[in-house]
């Protein structure tokens, strides 16, 4: 794993379920070249993990602050964690 690999664990709240947030997040992650995953939570939030170059991970987190067209993001909580070496990006 390259030494410049970083990891961001994010929780997104607002109108983020039922608006294709997970699919759009996966598309954006692929576009940016970051690994990780995204899933809906029972409380209505979306949880995601992004791993990759710092600038790409930062761009993925910034994208989550907007989300797809139909989303209305209220808040994004970000925790930086040690990278685990995830390969690919999945929707859970």
**What amino acid positions are annotated as catalytic residues?**
22, 40
| Angle at alpha carbon of residue 16, lines to 20 and 53, rounded to 5° | 80
Centre a 10 Å sphere on the Cβ of residue 14 and count the other Cβ atoms it contains: 17
> How far is 44 from 71, CA to CA, in rounded Å?
12
Contacts of 31 (CB under 8 A, 6+ apart): none
């Amino acid at each position: 794993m390259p030494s410049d690999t970083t990891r961001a664990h994010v929780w997104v709240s607002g109108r983020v379920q039922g608006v294709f947030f997970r699919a759009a997040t996966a598309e954006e992650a692929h576009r940016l070249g970051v690994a990780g995953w995204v899933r809906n939570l029972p409380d209505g939030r979306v949880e995601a993990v992004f791993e990759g170059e710092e600038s790409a991970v930062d761009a993925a987190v910034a994208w989550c602050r907007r989300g797809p067209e139909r989303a209305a993001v209220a808040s994004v909580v970000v925790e930086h964690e040690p990278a685990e070496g995830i390969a690919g990006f999945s929707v859970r």
